[in-house]
């Protein structure tokens, strides 16, 4: 799924600490994307003016789309029927636009729910009502008590344990809405996934600026903007996408034309104005499937268009069936 991929999250901290300086650097010629994109799929919905149903599959199923791709048509329809029963919350035999929209949002956020649940159990094995900062700090940063202070403060290519601790402390305080220095599971979710939580988004903007603003003047220059995405080899021509990004910076990112992006311009860049992708996809699926034009879908209408919703192919699907007991 195309969701926040390049904003540092504390969920990765234990892994980062264990292999921090041994992590292979990303290909300097690959584009880094910091935009918090709420698209429902990595796929293009329309390719060369042709409708791409794989977009709909990923929007409707989330991570389960790959599993359905391995099913026979018969099994795909059967599982889709079970899903329709879940979507139809009021059990009236029809799926409305709102019910379909709610389901699409649920599938898109399920990976976050699963991650929060896993992290909560790891950091709070006794499943107490909240997790204190001191408990979290001891579990994640306790190893630093035995570190040499110079090693703790040492910075290499923007990384240091001290900076990570400082960032986590600041983010924790923002997530802690009741000010008791302990997080409930809901607050902990905001701490782990600030990009998904309204009151946490300013911290994502701040962390992004700290990452890119190398001269610490509180704004991002064109050179800093490009350097965050691309580090080329001297003498080699820039790829076309880098040239395009330079134009994007000048024409769209730097709205006041002063040669820099300030905090508000960075926010407009990485958190684009809201477009409700789930609403649009729900309307699209109803438009494509609503045979009797009553603006809602019966189970029969959905199953008749199973290839739009979930897809399938006649392959060996025994392993997939074994992995998904809920079906």
Q: Please state the domain extents for the chain.
A: 49-219+262-321
Q: Report the mean per-residue pLDDT for the chain.
A: 79
Burial label for 315, CB within 10 Å (0-12, 13-18, 19+), is exposed
pLDDT in tens, 23-82: 333 344 455 567 665 555 555 554 455 556 666 666 776 766 667 677 788 888 888 898
319: confidence class by pLDDT, cuts 50, 70, 90: very low
Mean pLDDT of 217-233: 92
Paired tokens of 8: 């540092």
Three-state secondary-structure class, residue 183: strand
- 118-124 contacts at long range (C-beta below 8 A, 24 or more positions apart): 119/11, 119/188, 119/192, 120/185, 120/188, 123/188
Is the pLDDT score of 109 beyond 50?
yes
pLDDT digits (tens, 9 = 90+) for 141-176: 888 887 777 776 676 666 788 889 999 999 999 999
**Tokens representing residue 3 in the block:** 């969701």
Between 63-67, 135-139, 197-201, 307-311, the lowest mean confidence (pLDDT) is in 63-67
Task: Tell me what pLDDT residue 40 has.
Answer: 58
Whether the pLDDT of residue 326 is over 80: the answer is: no
Confidence class of residue 312 from pLDDT cuts 50, 70 and 90? very low
Give tens-digit pLDDT for 251-295. Answer: 999 999 999 999 999 998 988 776 677 888 889 899 999 999 999
Say how far apart CA 119 and CA 226 lie, in whole Å.
34
Percent of the chain past pLDDT 70, that is, above it, reads: 72
pLDDT at 108: 76
pLDDT, tens digit (0-9, with 9 covering 90-100), for 10-28: 433 433 333 233 333 334 4
Q: What is the pTM for the complete model shown? A: 0.64
Question: What is the crossing angle of helices 201-212 and 263-270, to 10°?
Answer: 110
């Amino acid at each position: 799924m195309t969701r926040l991929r390049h904003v540092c999250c504390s969920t990765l901290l234990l892994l980062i600490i264990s292999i921090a300086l041994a992590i292979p650097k990303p290909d300097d010629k690959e584009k880094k994307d910091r935009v918090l994109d709420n698209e429902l799929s990595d796929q293009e919905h329309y390719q060369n003016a042709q409708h791409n149903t794989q977009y709909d599959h990923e929007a409707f199923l989330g991570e389960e789309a790959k599993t359905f791709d391995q099913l026979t048509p018969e099994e795909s329809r059967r599982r889709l029927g079970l899903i329709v029963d879940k979507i139809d919350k009021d059990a009236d035999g029809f799926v409305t636009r709102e019910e379909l929209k709610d389901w699409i949002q649920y599938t898109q956020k399920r990976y976050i729910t699963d991650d929060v649940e896993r992290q909560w159990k790891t950091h709070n094995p006794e499943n107490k009502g909240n997790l204190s900062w001191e408990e979290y700090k001891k579990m994640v940063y306790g190893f630093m008590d035995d570190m040499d202070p110079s090693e703790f403060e040492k910075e290499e290519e923007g990384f240091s344990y001290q900076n990570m601790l400082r960032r986590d402390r600041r983010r924790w305080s923002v997530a802690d809405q009741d000010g008791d220095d302990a997080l409930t599971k809901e607050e902990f979710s905001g701490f782990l996934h600030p990009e998904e939580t309204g009151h946490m988004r300013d911290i994502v903007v701040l962390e992004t600026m700290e990452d890119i603003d190398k001269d610490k003047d509180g704004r991002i220059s064109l050179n800093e903007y490009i350097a965050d995405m691309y580090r080329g080899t001297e003498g080699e021509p820039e790829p076309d996408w880098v040239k395009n990004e330079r134009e994007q910076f000048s024409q769209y990112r730097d709205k006041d034309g002063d040669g820099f992006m300030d905090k508000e311009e960075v926010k407009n860049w990485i958190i684009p104005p809201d477009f409700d992708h789930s609403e649009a996809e729900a309307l699209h699926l109803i438009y494509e499937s609503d045979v009797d034009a009553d603006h809602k879908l019966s189970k029969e209408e959905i199953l008749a268009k199973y290839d739009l919703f979930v897809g399938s192919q006649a392959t060996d699907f025994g392993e997939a069936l074994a992995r998904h007991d809920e079906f």
